[in-house]
Structure 1
Amino acid sequence: MHKPFIRAACYALGASLALAVPAAQAQAADPVHVLVSQLDLEQYKATIKGLTRFGDRRQGTQRNRDALDWIEAQLKSYGCANIERLAYDFTQPAPRPANAAPRPQPEGGRGGPAGQGGSTLFGNRAPTGVNNDPMLQADERIRALDAEPAPAGTSKRHDIYCTKVGKTHPEEMYIVSAHMDGMGFGEAANDDGSGTALVMELARIFSAAGVETERSIRFALWNNEETGLNGSRAYVEQRRDLQGLESPKGSGKYPEPKWLGLIQHDMMLWDHGMPVPKRDPQGRPVLDAKGQPVFESPKEQRLEADVNIEFQSNSKLADGSAKLAWFFHAANGKYATNYPAVVGPHMTNTDSTPFMDLVPSISLRENERGMHIGAGWDPNWHQPSDVFTTYSDKDFLLGLNAAQTTLAAVAQLAGAKVSK
């Protein structure tokens, strides 16, 4: 080999190393990168797995209360400060006969006022609905876990949250949230164990020794999402007028800091794409009793899967919510490792809805809610198949990338610092 070529190669190697060292130093000095690097796929999976010990965590049941106790114990073990429960009354609607007319919905349905729903459905569609038949759960252990029905009448329910108190502006905060209840006689692993685990993982990292933030961050787990966003609505009703009030006066303590943004997480794992025609072993299309094609979800997470960041374009604070969504989009581009983010204007049917006219609000999820999920793109939604073993590491990695996105964005917004 010629000596000039060797010298040139050495110069090139040296130059690349010279560039790599400052880049590594910059990452080490960046508190956001330091915090994001503490997210771990196996830890995220373990937290979801822990939640699935309580079956579908249907609201009002003992398994729901046991899950709340477990969440509280985990938050305490992380050192998360100021763990609180918000109590509210919920009245379970009476069971309806199978042939009864649909129950009247609030104006616009769960998603909020009329005209604020999701986008138009298109493409191949698969059936959607809520499974209410325990015998469709083939696993006897899970079936036994989910056996207790939600109680009739009025009973007390609880949300649970903890707070990272800001050092400079404790009177201001961002709310990072998910719902911990589920339904469908599965384990509610994705809906919404995946979002609950994400919020818990962020609480763990921000609560670690040596981590400070200028502004406060509240990590909230709502209850009764599946019955109409009742837990988050109760929080808004009870806490909205307490924002920014110092109590006791002169103490420097703010039980309800002023809301700066609400970030909800609801179903993080499944972006396998549009349903495709099901085929028999000979490759022929499978037809239903009416001779129509049967569609099924692709088995693997698609390569073009993404983290969907939604705001509601018809909300009173749409401009601020859109800016928040695009800030999260930029955080994903800089700090997430595998899947990109997309921004959509059709946030609906999740716990950010009660907040959206009061504070900039967004929702992170696996699919565009109004179109993809509404068209049956997630076959496990409210079904017995929403169990931990349904999902692969590619699926869990999508949820982890959502966690990276939120952690990175909130760390910047809250002014996070990490001491050595």
Structure 2
Amino acid sequence: MKPVVALSLALACAGCAAQAQAPAPAPLAAAADPISSLVGQLDLEKYKATIKSLTKFGDRRQGTERNRQALDWIEAQLKSYGCTNTERLQYQYTQAAPGDPAPKRAPGIPSGGAGGPPGQGGSTLFGNRIATGVNNDPMAQPDEKLRALNSELTPVGTSQRENVYCTKVGSQHPEEMYIVSAHMDGIGFGEAANDDGSGTALVMELARIFSAPGVETDRSIRFILWNNEESGLNGATAYVNQRKDLQGIESPKGSGKYPEPKWLGMIQHDMMLFDHGMPFQKIDGYGKPVVDEQGKPVFVAPPEQRLEADVNIEYQSVSKQADASAKLAWAFRAANDKYATRYPASVGFHMTNTDSTPFMDLVPSISLRENERGQQIGSGWDPHWHQPTDLYANFSDKDFLLGLNAAQTTLAGVAKLAGLRIKK
């Protein structure tokens, strides 16, 4: 068993921004395979604790006080890990009033395909499906304390939003970087434990491990937690619009500092815990299939993680960076083969509706998920998606281990691409 970096997580506080700082982690020992040594620092209980802490802020709906408190807590944690150069990118977002046209999402992807009804990102829908949607009813949340925590809604009108990020600066090529990201906001009047506390915790854990003493990379790695994903990928789109033309520019000139290193790859994480498989028809207490009032079958999700559960690595085949994105996806599949401990990975080409979308025509971009976004999540394979049941308590260790295996996959993939070294 590899040694674990000593680090205690500060518990989240829904009503305060200041957090206790964790003790400095101990240096890692040099190893014959530094990637294996780093992957060994990932710990299920630390990952779960970070998700649990995020749920103390409820669903973290954008524009609310609980969202701002979560941003403050995330920033404090990143600093406590040693990723001290934390920054925020500010942007303006307009929340439409009821009855106004819904804001447009980031540029989309053709949907549909031969063989079945159209899905998202070009996928085809097969098999049993459950209706999906967003819960907008606070009273659907039976927990009174959580309902009260989530009671503040996004204010109507234009106001400021923020993304938070920190950067592992490359020792050889600080002018180049990989982006590792997830979105920290949620909706549905639950805890947003899976969507996307699971991805946020993954990115934070990687920031913790790459910030340990003795860990060096040739190229930079930026760990970004997006805001406003649920309202239309607005935080990621704002980042692209503000920073794409600043890539690789030294500032001040001659300083050796690059505020926006050149993007080499973008890796997004969005919902990491639930791969229970295709819904099946509900059976009543007498062993008979259940139907609704119209006589249609009633489908429900399997209660346990399926035996063939996997991490889905997706790129978008119609993007301008499709070939390079496919190469990046398969590099992560190879990292999973070598370093993941429990669940395998599969590669798909229908990446859609996630924060890598605004990047996909500019830089090789992939997303890691629990299921294929268009065909499976879009067919209701995760019944907690945008629902008040997206609660920490509704996921088992088997579910959390799927997220941990995604973390192993990304850590190993990025470590190899960025040129990992562990100093003695």
| TM-score normalised per structure 1 | 0.90
CA deviation map 1:38-92 (0-9, x unaligned):
0000000000001000000000000000000000010010010310000000000
1:119 is aligned to 123
In 1, distance between residues paired with 2:205 and 2:103?
35
1:70 and 2:88 correspond: no
In 2, distance between residues paired with 1:62 and 1:105?
22
Paired residue type of 2:169: V
1:82 and 2:78 correspond: no
Alpha-carbon RMSD across the aligned residues, in angstroms, is 1.3
Paired residue type of 1:67: A
| Matches for 1:180-259 after TM superposition, within 5 Å | 180-259=184-263
1:270 is aligned to 274
1:374 and 2:370 correspond: no
2:53 is aligned to 50
In 2, distance between residues paired with 1:39 and 1:142?
30
- The runs of 5 or more residues in structure 1 that have no matched partner are 1-26, 98-102
In 1, distance between residues paired with 2:239 and 2:60?
20
Q: Aligned in 2, Cα 1:145/1:310: closer, same or farther, shift over 3 Å?
A: same
Cα contact 1:111–1:350 (8 A) shared by 2: no
2:35 is aligned to 32
In 1, distance between residues paired with 2:179 and 2:42?
19
CA deviation map 1:191-211 (0-9, x unaligned):
000000000000000001110
| Matches for 1:312-351 after TM superposition, within 5 Å | 312-351=316-355
Cα contact 1:81–1:164 (8 A) shared by 2: no
In 2, distance between residues paired with 1:54 and 1:279?
37
Higher Rg of the two aligned structures: 1
In 1, distance between residues paired with 2:106 and 2:300?
27
Paired residue type of 2:34: P
In 1, distance between residues paired with 2:142 and 2:292?
23
| TM-score normalised per structure 2 | 0.89
Among candidates 345, 357, 361, match of residue 361 of structure 2 = 357
1:94 is aligned to 97
In 1, distance between residues paired with 2:109 and 2:298?
34
In 2, distance between residues paired with 1:51 and 1:302?
26
Cα contact 1:273–1:298 (8 A) shared by 2: yes
1:404 is aligned to 408
Offset at 1:96?
Answer: 2.9
Q: Percent identity?
A: 75
SS in 2 for 1:29: coil
Structure 1 moving runs of 4+ over 2 Å: 103-106, 113-116
2:18 is aligned to none
- The runs of 5 or more residues in structure 2 that have no matched partner are 1-29, 112-119
Offset at 1:118?
Answer: 3.8
In 1, distance between residues paired with 2:198 and 2:249?
33
Aligned residues: 387
SS in 2 for 1:320: helix
In 2, distance between residues paired with 1:352 and 1:40?
26
CA deviation map 1:284-305 (0-9, x unaligned):
1122121211100000000100
Cα contact 2:36–2:339 (8 A) shared by 1: yes
Paired residue type of 1:112: G
In 2, distance between residues paired with 1:104 and 1:395?
34
Paired residue type of 2:108: G
